[in-house]
Amino acid sequence: MPRLYVISASTRPTSTGRPLAAWVAELAASRTEFDTTLIDLGELGLPFLDEPEHPSGGRYVHQHTKQWSAKVDSADCFVFVMPMYNGGFSAPLKNAIDFLYQEWKDKPVGLISYSAGTSGGAPAIEMIRPVLGRVGLRPAEKSLSIPGIEERIGEDQRFLATPELTAQAGAVLDEVTEALAATESAVA
Ligand SMILES: Cc1cc2nc3c(=O)[nH]c(=O)nc-3n(C[C@H](O)[C@H](O)[C@H](O)COP(=O)(O)O)c2cc1C
């Protein structure tokens, strides 16, 4: 079964996006086509990129990089659940991407953004697309941007989903599934 990593791209201890990422991971896990794992960049605790060599060679010296490399290498596809900070995507997400290179190559990724304001972080998604292309990730065209994130978290700290949001997130996962199937048929 293809391994899907849902990456929660905030490292803030009070991240509002974490319940959203947990909901996305639950949604993916409820489907039959993925073996889903939630990765929280806050818990991962990567430092700023500190490898002496360019990641494309894969000659890592630090244990944290080797562990991150093994994790990403074992994934078949991703969903990035990303906050918008000052009109862009989060620096920890860029850092986590920059640490590696080959490990990302040719893998589909779905993009789900959120923000306090009305854009839902859609500009952050457009901003990250060329970065993903540089490391060979294949972003789904469909994405989901959730505005007013702070009002979408319940008292139980769970994301307040709606049928519409569930359908939209499902459409992102559908596209990731289709991209995976296309990869497999190209290999076969
Ligand atoms: C550094 C920073 C910059 C932000 N910039 C924006 C912004 O440009 N537009 C917006 O709508 N919300 C902005 N926000 C609000 C965030 O979208 C909102 O706080 C969200 O919960 C942050 O995600 P997180 O809690 O998972 O880290 C910003 C928040 C932070 C901490």
The minimum-distance atom of ligand 1 relative to the CA of 11 is 27
Average pLDDT over residues 63-87: 98
CA distance 148 to 155: 16
Q: What is the dihedral sign for C-alpha 120, 143, 75, 99?
A: negative
The torsion of the CA quartet 34, 70, 46, 134, rounded to 10 degrees, works out to: -80
Ligand 1, atom 19, lies closest to the CA of 116
183 — pLDDT class (breaks 50, 70, 90):
confident
Check whether 187 has a pLDDT greater than 90. Answer: no
Q: Evaluate: CB of 154 within 6 angstroms of ligand 1.
A: no
The minimum-distance atom of ligand 1 relative to the CA of 12 is 27
For 100-117, what is each residue's pLDDT tens digit?
999 999 999 999 999 999
Check whether 188 has a pLDDT greater than 80. Answer: no
The minimum-distance atom of ligand 1 relative to the CA of 8 is 26
Which CA distances in Å does 47 have to 29, 50, 92, 99?
29, 7, 9, 10
Q: How far is the CA of 110 from the centre of ligand 1 (A)?
A: 20
Q: What is the mean pLDDT of the chain?
A: 97
Q: Describe the strand order of the beta sheet including 35-40 as a list of residue ranges.
A: 35-40, 3-8, 77-83, 108-114, 138-146
**Which of 7, 15, 40, 86 maximizes ligand 1 atoms within 8 Å of its Cβ, making it the mutation to test the pocket?**
86
Average pLDDT over residues 35-60: 98
4 Cβ neighbours under 8 A, 6+ residues apart: 28, 34, 35, 36, 37, 75, 76, 77, 78, 79, 176
Ligand 1, atom 1, lies closest to the CA of 85
Q: How far is the CA of 89 from the centre of ligand 1 (A)?
A: 10
| The predicted structure's pLDDT at residue 80 | 98
Q: Cα angle at 88 between 39 and 84, to 5 degrees?
A: 55
Q: Evaluate: CB of 32 within 6 angstroms of ligand 1.
A: no
| The predicted structure's pLDDT at residue 184 | 74
Measuring CA to CA, which residue among 169, 100, 171, 90 is closest to residue 128?
A: 90
CA distance 128 to 93: 10
All structural domains of the chain with their residue ranges: 3-187
CATH for 3-187?
A: 3.40.50.360
Q: Percent of the chain, pLDDT > 90? A: 96
Average pLDDT over residues 137-162: 97
Check whether 153 has a pLDDT greater than 90. Answer: yes
| The predicted structure's pLDDT at residue 186 | 74
